[in-house]
Structure 1
């Protein structure tokens, strides 16, 4: 719950504790009023005090023993990016402040406990939780980043990253922790897998949004699916080891998934041993969390005669029993061989809906209760997920499920030609009480996937305070590097890729709602027949067209992540042409409104450029289905086609 200024009783105590700290250097204390910062994901609680703190050019850094080097390095980088020229290591905060000090550590450290005690603030006691306090005194200030554990402390640093983007920090207290214990992504799409560079960038991104899980499960890795019994080549294993180290540095659990379903013999001890060997090799490079995927396979036939002898004729019930036997053996081996191991995760063959079936009943009865079960919701691509849906899944599988949300994945036919850039929405607040966590299945395009993934992770962190639109805008701001013009261009582009299809005929998110509202307003105004209003509407349309036409160049100008611009390249090419077509359409409407016969030429040129735009194709092989790029389809193309009929040329 968000608290208003003055409601948090410890802020005055914090300020009182700092009242005795004085210094002749006035630069660190500011007379600017404190304003509530926007933090994403939304914190559990944030309360303002009085006054603000300026970092200045020199900051003292007090680091508690046991703080990870990656956390210290992140704080230094954040402070330097904020304009701090000198970050001086200090053993303690002096009684008389000479600058602003940052205290960094977990609640186990005496220096951190003392800082919280001086402010009469208690440490957030949840796993991955953290507390931040800041207050200004005469000549300086103090900022305390206190983690319940090392992960919580790292999350606190990500909040600091957002706080210091403002010129001054308000005096405040933040208490925060995640609602769901598992939050992140599963690279589980079909088609071209991400490159190791993509994965590295993705892990760095996941850290900034307080995710804690990445599942390596590319469908096209032969050594994880078709050739799962075989050992990885040494070079590939080394590359995965580098990736695991990157995940660890970012406080993200690297989960290795294997998909043996197409060929496994469930009753053969040799196959269980093959899985154990595979996991042992991955454990050797630092992996401690494993996953067995049994999705997208048949249970109408066995892969070996031995299974028929062991479990009887093939079918749903027998498959559930057979799978449980294998998974239980793997789970037992993990516990026996790796004290640091987490519970095994599995995705069942019936991974969607929550209807009672013989297969689910068999899993419920026979599967080790420690094994985590994934579930995609009410459908493969569900239009919405409610609390009752999740409760029904809990009943069906005999445990709370880990949600595999197939958004924004674009590896199925209905997504051909699309990037899925709508905000993450229509998941009910309160699901955190019914799920063990949430993983997003992203697109083949890593950087554009961050738009939706930011929302998925923010929902998993604090589903009750999650705001889809504000988080969507935050994702644009982050990709734009804080540049307002680039942020606006990205939001313009996102709107043209707003459609979120399902496996059915109806999308669960509409196409281009902002642009559609603007174009509908032009249609309505022209239909009204008022001359002055009509001309104003056409002028506004020209501005809209300019924004569309210019957005691609702004996005490519250098402030937006270059990976985003490259992976969205054909969409940006098409957007630019569609923007030009709309500019010509606006010119045609203006000419028609003034009785100028040049209108016909403008409209003809608009149709020609629109046809060029509609002919642009996806990058060959980048996604599972290649095809023509779609830009605000059903909205922009329809308006360009209809415009010549809206005003008769006199």
Structure 2
């Protein structure tokens, strides 16, 4: 017989010992935080830090006042009520101390030295360290430049969302020089409120570029020669200022291609006047869009005289002449100005052509060329694809990624909410950056755009699914119920179409896996297995039906619920139809003739769901809302035939 002392396993004894210890002794171990975009390097140290209510803030010379104000705001939101300022590091860390400034400042170098850390020396780079020491701690935010210090503050914001911060060292910088979005879709442009919120979002995600290029702005395309009304110009100036506050470069794009006469000095001057007016309100980066135009014929007879018969090669020569003149004027106005950006007429492949050869031969090498990949909406982009584009255009290209834009026919009725995927790690070696073309719906666009920005920051450390989940948590303000509800919605909007018949991401993979499992069990399982599968189906139906109300109550950006309203309405109806379907399957499995009524109710509700329409005018193509189409509707239609409906005695 075993002695009593041996009745307990090692794990059980450990549990008893831990339970008898005071709470401080049972503290959870420090864990590596999840930061998005993923940092280049993040290493755990010993111990953890809790700020408490009072901190000392040491601001080094050369720190932008706006970044100092941002850090103060972040600390206040984290529960700090007293911020004492100092000009030197405390000799003894008896309370939390935060050092903020450029890594060239002596006091910042001293703080890094105490933390056994070195500064990151890349553009937009930063080092963030946290050091636990007795009853105090030292947090250092060292920026290699002003942008890097701002990015460090955004990382601090994420760290302080945790109850405690582990001791760690983060050294970080972007993989791609240009990261952001281009509002370049057709249909209803974003409102100024949308753009303001989007610029704040870009700043939080360490993006650095926003291109203003809505196709339906008449003064940027059809009326490009005409001056903006004063009110509109003022609004654009306000946006440029908001972008600057978020360390985002506001780029103004003009689309003169449908009517410009390339050889006409008056048209060239009209374009330069437009840019001068924008420069007067604080815009210093410019873009000429020559996409979606007819380039096989001239808009004026003078171009034929200047460049010869119309054609692809002549168009490349004429466009280069104009763009080179614009680039020269930008440098004349401001020698430190950023390079001009252009999107060519052949933007959607890397095949050799007379047009590309003309650009390669004549276009100023300083000018940045955009490229959308192997197609207008490419299913994937590889390093060899980008190398081919580099060769074709004679320079590394700036990727215009047409995801998650939904302004084309095959995207009708859809929000594109799948993760950003199938872009090869290592593309940063062959691209100057990535700009995402988002949806007409600004707030829902952030789901995919979060992935684009995270990939642009650290393509080799990018994880599509983890970043996708972060986007849901961020929209939900870290509320777990709202996060789960958003992921249910995202799954029903997972399909990513192309211009062809085949999508590049499948529809509702999580839901489809469950429905396929239910079909399989109903076909092959015993009574217990069937009832278990039907119960799982019922829980999923409840989750789909309940998610819209949870999202409306839980998302922190009111724009999300507003802009996705018809999708939430349709999702709730489809969830209710699935609830009735699950009830019908359960009744049929038990031999209850009420199954017929349940299935009839499911068909009726499904018809209502399928009739929900998109918001009129919100997108270029309006129509019925699609929720997990081809998956959910098919299952509900097939369900009555999966179990014979026969009454049992």
Q: TM-score, normalised by structure 1?
A: 0.95
Determine the structure 2 residue equivalent to 1:347: 343
Q: Say if 2:99 is the partner of 1:103.
A: yes
| The one of 147, 151, 155 aligned to 1:151 | 147
Q: Is the 8 A contact 2:89 2:107 kept in 1?
A: no
| The one of 614, 620, 625 aligned to 2:616 | 620
Determine the structure 1 residue equivalent to 2:117: 121
Question: Once structures 1 and 2 are overlaid, which stretch shifts more, 209-218 or 68-77?
Answer: 68-77
Determine the structure 2 residue equivalent to 1:458: 454
Determine the structure 2 residue equivalent to 1:86: 82
Match of 2:342, SS state, is strand
- C-alpha distance in structure 2 between counterparts of 1:252 and 1:30, whole Å: 44
Per-residue deviation at 1:97?
A: 2.5
Q: Is the 8 A contact 1:28 1:53 kept in 2?
A: no
Determine the structure 2 residue equivalent to 1:70: 66
Q: Is the 8 A contact 2:555 2:561 kept in 1?
A: no
- C-alpha distance in structure 2 between counterparts of 1:340 and 1:58, whole Å: 43
Determine the structure 2 residue equivalent to 1:337: 333
The one-character-per-residue Cα deviations of 1:421-474 (angstroms, maximum 9, x if unpaired) are 000000000000000000000000000000000000000000011110000000
Match of 1:532, SS state, is helix
The one-character-per-residue Cα deviations of 1:593-622 (angstroms, maximum 9, x if unpaired) are 110000000000000000000000000000
| The one of 634, 640, 647 aligned to 1:638 | 634
- C-alpha distance in structure 1 between counterparts of 2:612 and 2:336, whole Å: 50
The one-character-per-residue Cα deviations of 1:178-203 (angstroms, maximum 9, x if unpaired) are 00000000000000000000000000
Determine the structure 2 residue equivalent to 1:44: 40
Q: Say if 2:218 is the partner of 1:222.
A: yes
The one-character-per-residue Cα deviations of 1:492-548 (angstroms, maximum 9, x if unpaired) are 000000000000000000000000001100000100141100000000110000000
Per-residue deviation at 1:54?
A: 0.5
- C-alpha distance in structure 2 between counterparts of 1:617 and 1:35, whole Å: 46
| The one of 427, 434, 437 aligned to 1:431 | 427
Q: Is the 8 A contact 2:175 2:428 kept in 1?
A: yes
Q: Say if 2:556 is the partner of 1:538.
A: no
| The one of 315, 335, 340 aligned to 2:311 | 315
Determine the structure 2 residue equivalent to 1:564: 560
- C-alpha distance in structure 2 between counterparts of 1:533 and 1:92, whole Å: 68
Written as runs of structure 1 = structure 2, the 5 A alignment for 1:132-531 is 132-531=128-527
| The one of 597, 604, 608 aligned to 2:600 | 604
Per-residue deviation at 1:142?
A: 0.5
Match of 1:380, SS state, is coil
The verdict on how the C-alpha distance between 1:624 and 1:28 changes in structure 2, with shifts beyond 3 A counting, is farther
Question: Once structures 1 and 2 are overlaid, which stretch shifts more, 363-372 or 336-345?
Answer: 336-345
Q: Is the 8 A contact 2:518 2:534 kept in 1?
A: yes
The verdict on how the C-alpha distance between 1:634 and 1:290 changes in structure 2, with shifts beyond 3 A counting, is same
- C-alpha distance in structure 1 between counterparts of 2:305 and 2:234, whole Å: 41
The one-character-per-residue Cα deviations of 1:347-376 (angstroms, maximum 9, x if unpaired) are 000001100000000000000000000000
Q: Say if 2:546 is the partner of 1:550.
A: yes
Per-residue deviation at 1:122?
A: 1.3
Q: Is the 8 A contact 1:82 1:165 kept in 2?
A: yes
- C-alpha distance in structure 1 between counterparts of 2:28 and 2:570, whole Å: 46
Per-residue deviation at 1:230?
A: 1.0
Determine the structure 1 residue equivalent to 2:579: 583
Match of 2:314, SS state, is helix
- C-alpha distance in structure 2 between counterparts of 1:586 and 1:69, whole Å: 59
- C-alpha distance in structure 2 between counterparts of 1:147 and 1:122, whole Å: 11
The verdict on how the C-alpha distance between 1:305 and 1:559 changes in structure 2, with shifts beyond 3 A counting, is closer
- C-alpha distance in structure 1 between counterparts of 2:249 and 2:126, whole Å: 19
Match of 1:557, SS state, is helix
Per-residue deviation at 1:155?
A: 0.5
Per-residue deviation at 1:34?
A: 1.5
Determine the structure 2 residue equivalent to 1:14: none
The verdict on how the C-alpha distance between 1:171 and 1:529 changes in structure 2, with shifts beyond 3 A counting, is closer
Q: Is the 8 A contact 2:94 2:134 kept in 1?
A: no
Per-residue deviation at 1:82?
A: 1.3
The verdict on how the C-alpha distance between 1:477 and 1:31 changes in structure 2, with shifts beyond 3 A counting, is same
Question: Once structures 1 and 2 are overlaid, which stretch shifts more, 273-282 or 489-498?
Answer: 273-282
Match of 2:361, SS state, is helix
Q: Is the 8 A contact 1:28 1:141 kept in 2?
A: no
- C-alpha distance in structure 2 between counterparts of 1:425 and 1:512, whole Å: 15
Per-residue deviation at 1:150?
A: 0.3
Per-residue deviation at 1:44?
A: 0.5
The one-character-per-residue Cα deviations of 1:37-93 (angstroms, maximum 9, x if unpaired) are 111111110000010011101111111122122211221121111111112222222
- C-alpha distance in structure 1 between counterparts of 2:358 and 2:258, whole Å: 20
Match of 2:52, SS state, is coil
- C-alpha distance in structure 1 between counterparts of 2:544 and 2:116, whole Å: 52
- C-alpha distance in structure 2 between counterparts of 1:70 and 1:30, whole Å: 40
Match of 1:219, SS state, is coil
Q: Is the 8 A contact 1:212 1:252 kept in 2?
A: yes
Match of 2:620, SS state, is coil
Per-residue deviation at 1:29?
A: 12
Per-residue deviation at 1:98?
A: 3.4
- C-alpha distance in structure 2 between counterparts of 1:64 and 1:514, whole Å: 50
Per-residue deviation at 1:558?
A: 3.9
- C-alpha distance in structure 2 between counterparts of 1:222 and 1:526, whole Å: 58
Q: Is the 8 A contact 1:616 1:629 kept in 2?
A: yes
Q: Is the 8 A contact 2:348 2:372 kept in 1?
A: yes
Determine the structure 1 residue equivalent to 2:591: 595
Q: Is the 8 A contact 1:451 1:475 kept in 2?
A: yes
Per-residue deviation at 1:114?
A: 1.4
The verdict on how the C-alpha distance between 1:28 and 1:372 changes in structure 2, with shifts beyond 3 A counting, is farther
Question: Once structures 1 and 2 are overlaid, which stretch shifts more, 454-463 or 65-74?
Answer: 65-74
The verdict on how the C-alpha distance between 1:158 and 1:110 changes in structure 2, with shifts beyond 3 A counting, is same
Determine the structure 2 residue equivalent to 1:9: none
Match of 2:553, SS state, is coil
